[in-house]
């Protein structure tokens, strides 16, 4: 007879999303609640750590309660509580971690510490399970978000059911400066295209000519699997200086944003074909760089599979680019669903499941690790 599916409550508060989820057996999502703080940070065009901590404090109790209600699970039914230990903003991490710790203590249930980046890997595994697909190992995993752009070589202890297996990671490359999502957000800020930049630029890029403006490819001298996005950001700044005729529309969009008109459609109405071309060219340069370097790393490391996760993995051009390139190289590629690409707690509960099976538990001395590494 199969062992009962373990119910794990996941809690995530590493950046600007307060999230809680109940996942059964590491793969069936019974609930996944995400309370985003985007509206609070929008006027600063970036996450303000003090405001993030304060908002997590306001939201953590109702978000956990809603996750339990939606899953129709009582606290007493839980088998374990999993929390994000890091990496992330210290104050933000502390809120979810402390709440989870106290909950586990009061319920006398095991507490499981999860690395946020490993959570992003498990977001892919959750999706693979839903699609009844089994990733082949080894894999190369690209985690690409607002805070991270990093490549890992991933191997698995077990073949078959990835929701029960522990993974081993080796870091093979990463950004030397900005994360890709950060570059999206900064470029959107220069062009007055709202915050966060990724989803809006993704939509506007579809209306421009990606060959119109050439952004040079960054050369990585010591490690070809590293990334750099600060050059493209500077190139954008110089382009705008050389084209002062774009300034009036930037001002007009800034005013629209100040009035709260921040949808992609509203901003597109205020964008000339030259701006749409610029956005499309920027996106093409970033996506080409991400796909080319990841594919090269996969080939060099004889990977059979590519996993792509993190907020930028929601990007349409990135998904289609990876799919066609992987097909050309006979590799399998896996993404999370778009909802699980950005930060959520289902991925934290899923990542905790193999640890639960291994009795890999944390105790009350657990502390937040803002720079926690995966490898
Ligand atoms: O994983 P995430 O929610 O938070 C971090 O851990 O950083 O990722 C948020 C980042 C933001 O920089 C946002 O602009 C970017 O992901 N993003 C996108 C898209 N959706 C979100 N970037 C490009 N295209 C998208 N569709
Ligand atoms: Zn993340």
How far does the centroid of ligand 2 lie from the alpha carbon of residue 239, in Å? 31
What per-residue confidence (pLDDT) applies to 145?
Answer: 95
CA distances from 286 to 12, 147, 280 (A): 28, 16, 10
| Whole-number pLDDT of residue 166 | 87
Distance, in Å, from the CA atom of 115 to the CA atom of 148, rounded to the nearest integer, reads: 13
Contact assessment for residue 254 and residue 204, using Cβ atoms and an 8 Å cutoff: no
- What are the tens digits of pLDDT across the range 296-350? 999 999 999 999 999 999 999 999 999 999 999 999 999 999 899 999 999 999 9
Is residue 353 classed as helix, strand or coil in its secondary structure?
A: helix
Ligand 1: residue whose CA is nearest its atom 10: 146
pLDDT of residue 2: 66
119 close to ligand 1 (CB < 6 Angstrom)? no
Round to whole Å and give the CA distance between 343 and 356: 22
Distance (Å, whole) CA 36 – CA 142: 24
The pLDDT tens digits along the chain (375 residues) read 567 899 999 999 999 999 999 999 999 999 999 999 988 998 888 899 999 999 999 999 999 999 999 999 999 999 999 999 999 999 999 999 999 999 999 999 999 999 999 999 999 999 999 999 999 999 999 999 999 999 999 999 776 788 888 899 999 999 999 999 999 999 999 999 999 999 999 999 999 999 999 998 888 788 999 999 999 999 999 999 999 999 999 999 999 999 999 999 999 999 999 999 999 999 999 999 999 999 999 999 999 999 999 999 999 999 999 999 999 999 999 999 989 999 999 999 999 999 999 999 999 999 999 999 999
- Measure 72 CA to ligand 2 centroid, in angstroms: 27
Pocket-testing residue among 175, 312, 318, 322, ligand 1, by greatest number of atoms within 8 A of Cβ:
312
Per-residue confidence (pLDDT) for residue 225, from 0 to 100: 95
The answer, yes or no, to whether any atom of ligand 1 lies below 6 A from the CB of 100, is no
In 3D, which of 309, 374, 362, 16 has the Cα closest to residue 185?
16
Question: What's residue 157's pLDDT?
Answer: 77
Give the Cβ contact number of residue 369 at 10 Å.
18
Please give the C-alpha separations between residue 224 and each of 21, 183, 221, in angstroms, as whole numbers: 38, 20, 7
- Indicate which ligand has the atom closest to the C-alpha of 144: 1
369 lines ligand 1 (CB under 6 A): no
Q: Is 194 in the pocket of ligand 1 (CB under 6 A)?
A: no
Q: Looking at residue 208, what DSSP letter applies?
A: S
How many Cβ atoms sit within 10 Å of the Cβ of residue 3? Answer: 8
Residue 87 preceded by cis peptide, ω within 30: yes
Ligand 1 binding pocket includes 26 (Cβ within 6 Å): no
Q: What is the pTM of this model?
A: 0.95
Residue of 42, 204, 342 to mutate, ligand 1, most atoms within 8 A of C-beta: 342
Check pocket membership of 202 for ligand 1, CB cut-off 6 A: yes
Q: Which residue has the tokens 């971690």?
A: 97
């Amino acid at each position: 007879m199969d062992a009962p599916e373990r119910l794990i409550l996941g809690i995530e508060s590493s950046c600007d999303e307060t999230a809680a989820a109940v996942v059964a057996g590491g793969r069936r999502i019974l609930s996944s609640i995400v309370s985003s703080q985007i509206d609070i940070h929008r006027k600063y065009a970036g996450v303000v750590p003090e405001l993030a901590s304060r908002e997590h404090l306001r939201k953590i109790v109702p978000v956990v309660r809603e996750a339990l209600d939606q899953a129709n699970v009582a606290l007493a039914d839980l088998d374990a509580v999993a929390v994000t230990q890091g990496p992330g903003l210290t104050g933000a991490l502390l809120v979810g971690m402390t709440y989870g710790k106290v909950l586990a203590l009061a319920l006398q249930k095991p507490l499981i510490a999860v690395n946020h980046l490993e959570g992003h890997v498990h977001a892919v595994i959750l999706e693979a399970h839903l699609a009844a697909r089994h990733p082949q190992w080894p894999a190369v995993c690209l985690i690409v978000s607002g805070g991270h752009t990093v490549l890992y070589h991933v191997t698995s202890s077990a073949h078959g059911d990835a929701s029960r297996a522990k993974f081993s990671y080796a870091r093979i490359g990463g950004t030397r400066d900005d994360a890709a999502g950060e570059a999206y957000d900064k470029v959107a800020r220069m062009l007055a295209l709202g915050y966060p930049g990724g989803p809006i630029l993704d939509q506007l890029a579809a209306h421009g000519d990606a060959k119109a403006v050439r952004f040079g490819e960054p050369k990585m001298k010591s490690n070809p699997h590293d990334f750099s996005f600060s050059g493209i950001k500077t190139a954008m700044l110089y382009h705008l200086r050389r084209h002062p005729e774009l300034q009036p529309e930037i001002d007009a969009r800034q005013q629209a944003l100040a009035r709260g008109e921040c949808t992609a459609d509203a901003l597109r109405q205020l964008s000339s074909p030259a701006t749409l071309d610029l956005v499309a060219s920027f996106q093409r340069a970033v996506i080409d760089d991400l796909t080319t370097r990841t594919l090269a790393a996969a080939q060099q490391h004889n990977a059979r599979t590519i996993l792509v996760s993190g907020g930028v993995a929601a990007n349409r051009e990135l998904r289609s680019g990876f799919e066609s390139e992987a097909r050309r190289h006979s590799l399998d590629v896996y993404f999370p669903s778009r909802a699980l690409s950005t930060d959520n707690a289902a991925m934290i509960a899923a990542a905790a499941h193999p640890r639960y099976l291994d009795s890999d538990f944390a105790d009350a001395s657990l502390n937040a690790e803002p720079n926690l590494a995966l490898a």
